[in-house]
Structure 1
């Protein structure tokens, strides 16, 4: 034993101990997965949203990977990425997550893959100095409860984590709306008991109807919703009206005296709440009655999805010349618009005609996409009240309507006044009646005219995109077209709201409100550079706002309900003067970002339905952000953040190109040569000092 210890402490054991250390280190590393991601957007790390989805799985989720062996580059990197990312999913998940890599060399596994719906794909292969084709498997199957989803033909890592996580999320939310929630969901009926004395039609049956619908929904969601019926005191009613927007009622009856009451049904989770349209109304004959109880089970289920940020439906306002949800395809058949297709993997757009209906609060967000005609005060009021009750708004608004008689004539531009200006200005945003032109813009080579710069199409890069908002922080660049400037001065004065300029033009931009032309051949650049300034093109305002109206506008329907026999002993006030919850409003000064066509480019569209272009990602991120899916924004744009150079001339661009290709190599070579010369000089100095007469050195 003593000899062994002496051996270990002697230099003879160094090799043995080194080999032992390597073996032990490999064992530790194989058991403990550890990786550091030094990229700015964390391109190779699992997003918080992905981790949260798999951390709260309530049923077993199995991921089966069907990939062929020995894939050549670049497909081998996809296989490695999937292996790495599944390890991270597993490390973040609970015990319900599992995955396996299926051996595709076995014929029975090929048959299993086809059973799931996967198909082989063809890829190029370089073998024996010849390029050939081979068929391979590159797909994933996800199984959760009774749901099966496949991701096939995975030839790139772009957006792969986003696709996996959203697929899992959709499977889970379809199975249970409350999957993964940390707190309780409460359904509360606020109803003043004294209102029963007024013999309001349906009042006595109201609570029973609500309990029936509640029990049905609660059973589907494993009894995770609580219900309470509260008779609020007169002192509590103003606070409840301000917090939830429930209906406040006042009466002054000769027999029953005067008083204040309330009716309202509220679904609440954390800081979010949803108000149902259960209230007292007056019918054509003047009778007071309870309305809003129809299809209450469906209403509760939809509102449940909305307040837990899993709403799959978005309101889309029509009736004022907005871009249609459906358009004619090249074969003459109706098809979804490019905007609808862009968001169709996660959302369904539901048409809202404000002239016929209110905006349901079940929609987490509503889109107004390029209106051309005026809104009535009643319609604007419905939008206003939706926002003040916690609804989110995405507005694509144009300053002008472009009209062109024929392809050879110059278009004319007529200012658009829809009335939305009233609402937006009350929220602190003013959209100018002009277009923004920018020297930093999209350019294109033309056979006849050479390089053409389209000043009406500003190109925003990192320095003009907000680097903190999840909507824009990972985007390398975005191109807009025919944008109006947005003034945010009043919004900044609102202490209850936060303003974020998502995109702005460069400092070399200017605005035009007359003699407008999108064609760069007919545009004059201002000679006075002092007139140029950066303009806001897309703005986000989130917080609380004041109403654009002092009260509900009167409509013809209200007048029709008045009659001599009407029961006027009790009256209601449902107007919301200040925000009940925080809201988000995104305003973009061009409907071309919403899918409108561009006449200058043969009616082409800026958006692409696959969502691969930066502008499409920008729009899709905006939609996700308004629907409480901020994590999806970051997930979708991973790896897209470009550290681009800001160059102002072709010569500078050429210099930067060749410097990176050749200059760095030359600098490294020169540095190495200098180091070598310095080492030789040092050796010579040492030799001359300590052994100047060394005969082995030639002098």
Structure 2
């Protein structure tokens, strides 16, 4: 048979077999996939699978997606496919408890009307007559409704968490009861806890952290003079306890000893606690008490928070712009820290999968000698941290001076801890009643019924929204982007203390930008040298200008300005020195900018150009070896033939 015919027949059979293989794989292995991403972003987390497997009643998810309109936006189109794939994965993993409906809300249809009734957002797209719908409405058998108004591609890293939280809120899981006791107006001035909403726009609104907590738990605010903590609470949160009475501290003591779980946030200098200004006493705001502590309880539990110092850490310093004080440029502010996973306890479930915690002018804890409890650090500084007297921040905060005078230490400081163990009461005789007499509760405990389990954080500012969330306006909707795991830390702490896995493993999937550690260290060291030189030159310039001013104001008894030739010469020399100093200062700033630009260029080259260059070199080498082998083979054939 002709070899050409055999070749063509073989090629046709190969094509048929290939197409058949694709059809078989597509029909029978549609759910099969391999996730090669580092964090397994396309694989449902253990927490999601547990929640799906525990569903007792069906949940219906309706994805309203105008696919035709999305064709004009490649990013949205790609993300739309990602959302649909993940929702189908939820449906498969739920064992039939998730009912998925993908709906195209055609204009003027019942589907569009229903999407509007659910509160989903329609976005006008330039060049398109129809708006873009890309939202989700989830319902259960009890007419419960939870929605995602619009899927933002920028929030893809939180997609699984947002979907799982929606399903969790629709499930029949019993919500935990959280009690909050605070000296701060966390619930604003016009919040109605019965209606769960703000009465009017007047007055301050609830902190975002309260809104977020209420999405997951039943939250109630407790008066700061409470005399008994309700036993129905699953967790008590004490935030910034500035001036709690002994009776309230006694109530907390007995609650913990009876098995209650506690999370407390204390602070040597809470920046969020801004005192009101007194026009008649301008110094009142400076001297106002902005720290909080519970030494009576902490000492009884075997640890303490130092009341004098805050923790500075150049390694984890955040960039902050203080305006004119820093030349209108952001610098490393060593008292505001962005702590990464290197400072988080990877052995504790609460922090093992978090990536970043932001704190500000944080304190630290230390265990007392002879303590009967065990103190486990959850969040710590680096081993290069140093302590700064809080009065430096309170009366004369100098960010540049803190950076230039920074002296790296050799010790880590625990910023958040978990304390467990057997303890005695801090109030063996009870607390004073309204008449001033010591009085015990009827069920007073001298010893804990079981080992206590509490979490203490030496920073209150971390729950302020500026340290964990960034809100942007999106067609009239406030869109929140988490900038840290601060809120996740609070969620995880509540769930772990109450013995529920909840969404701990799902929250860890929410990613943040991964810093170039080596690059950041080089930039930090270069800026430190620059700031020190800049500070020295600015001081020299200031001294020179003051010297010139002093020489120019020397006057005779008649009031006329008299300058001798020698004084004029000194002034001229001082002015020349000032000009040279200004030139040096400009040179230093220019050199820093050039160094950082050069470093940026190197990083871009390494990340963008190195791999293609290596592939090209490898291709050239491979081609050269093949050519050499072919040439060598021909040479041997010719040699043999001859």
TM-score (norm 2): 0.69
Distance 1:117 1:689 in 2: 75
> Match of 2:28?
28
Distance 1:680 1:489, change over 3 A: farther
> Match of 1:385?
254
> Match of 2:363?
484
Q: Contact 2:339–2:357 (CA<8 Å) still a contact in 1?
A: yes
Note the 1:68-107 alignment, pairs <5 A: 68-70=66-68, 71=70, 72-105=73-106
Q: Contact 2:334–2:402 (CA<8 Å) still a contact in 1?
A: no
SS at match of 1:99: strand
Q: Contact 1:354–1:379 (CA<8 Å) still a contact in 2?
A: yes
Q: Contact 2:267–2:291 (CA<8 Å) still a contact in 1?
A: no
Distance 2:609 2:163 in 1: 45
> Match of 2:161?
162
Note the 1:318-357 alignment, pairs <5 A: 318=182, 321-327=183-189, 332-333=202-203, 335-353=205-223, 355-357=225-227
Distance 1:583 1:681 in 2: 71
Distance 1:640 1:502 in 2: 19
> Match of 1:140?
136
Q: What is the Cα-based RMSD across aligned positions, in Å?
A: 4.2
Distance 1:60 1:685 in 2: 67
SS at match of 1:480: strand
> Match of 2:56?
58
Tell me which of 420, 425, 438 is aligned to 2:294. 420
Q: Contact 1:316–1:349 (CA<8 Å) still a contact in 2?
A: yes
> Match of 2:178?
314
**Within the alignment, does 1:676 sit opposite 2:620 as a pair?**
yes
SS at match of 2:424: coil
SS at match of 2:179: strand
Shift of residue 373 of structure 1? 1.6
> Match of 1:438?
313
Shift of residue 640 of structure 1? 0.9
Tell me which of 476, 479, 482 is aligned to 1:612. 482
Tell me which of 223, 236, 242 is aligned to 1:372. 242
SS at match of 1:456: strand
Distance 1:316 1:17 in 2: 67
Distance 1:346 1:664, change over 3 A: closer
Distance 2:319 2:435 in 1: 55
Distance 1:27 1:379 in 2: 66
> Match of 1:188?
none
SS at match of 2:362: coil
Distance 1:118 1:374 in 2: 43
Distance 2:290 2:332 in 1: 27
Distance 1:607 1:483, change over 3 A: farther
Distance 1:490 1:78 in 2: 56
Shift of residue 366 of structure 1? 1.0
Q: Contact 2:425–2:446 (CA<8 Å) still a contact in 1?
A: no
Note the 1:261-660 alignment, pairs <5 A: 305=174, 310-311=175-176, 313-318=177-182, 321-327=183-189, 332-333=202-203, 335-353=205-223, 355-376=225-246, 378-400=247-269, 412=286, 420-433=294-307, 434-439=309-314, 440-445=316-321, 448=324, 449-451=327-329, 452-488=331-367, 497=374, 499-505=376-382, 507-517=384-394, 519-521=397-399, 523-524=401-402, 529=407, 531=409, 533-541=411-419, 543-549=420-426, 551=428, 553=430, 555-556=432-433, 574-575=444-445, 577-580=447-450, 583-595=452-464, 610=480, 612-614=482-484, 615-628=486-499, 630-646=501-517, 647-650=520-523, 654=597, 657-660=600-603
> Match of 2:40?
42
Distance 1:410 1:498, change over 3 A: closer
Distance 1:412 1:405 in 2: 9
Deviations 1:466-514 (A, max 9, x none): 34545445544332111112224769x75x7572422424624333254
Shift of residue 359 of structure 1? 0.9
Shift of residue 369 of structure 1? 1.1
Q: Which has the higher mean CA deviation after the structures are superposed, 367-376 or 16-25?
A: 16-25
Distance 1:363 1:655 in 2: 57
Q: Contact 1:453–1:520 (CA<8 Å) still a contact in 2?
A: no
Q: Which has the higher mean CA deviation after the structures are superposed, 624-633 or 400-409?
A: 400-409
Q: Contact 2:107–2:130 (CA<8 Å) still a contact in 1?
A: no
Shift of residue 387 of structure 1? 1.7
**Within the alignment, does 1:153 sit opposite 2:153 as a pair?**
no
Structure with the bigger percentage of helix: 2
Deviations 1:346-389 (A, max 9, x none): 2343232464431112111111111222431x432321222233
Distance 1:653 1:619 in 2: 37
SS at match of 2:418: strand
Distance 1:685 1:419 in 2: 79
Q: Contact 2:188–2:207 (CA<8 Å) still a contact in 1?
A: yes
Deviations 1:618-669 (A, max 9, x none): 4454445445554424423424154322122337865564334333454334
Q: Contact 2:380–2:414 (CA<8 Å) still a contact in 1?
A: yes
Distance 2:352 2:438 in 1: 53
Distance 2:501 2:599 in 1: 36
Unaligned runs of 5+ in 1: 1-5, 126-130, 174-178, 180-304, 563-570, 597-603
Note the 1:216-227 alignment, pairs <5 A: none
Distance 1:473 1:657 in 2: 32
Distance 1:522 1:666 in 2: 37
Distance 1:18 1:455 in 2: 62
Shift of residue 464 of structure 1? 2.0
Distance 1:506 1:134 in 2: 58
Deviations 1:146-195 (A, max 9, x none): 3141332223435333333333333333xxxxx6xxxxxxxxxxxxxxxx
> Match of 1:215?
none
Q: Which has the higher mean CA deviation after the structures are superposed, 531-540 or 651-660?
A: 651-660
Structure with the bigger percentage of strand: 1
Q: Contact 2:179–2:222 (CA<8 Å) still a contact in 1?
A: yes
Distance 1:559 1:644, change over 3 A: closer
TM-score (norm 1): 0.64
Distance 2:213 2:165 in 1: 12
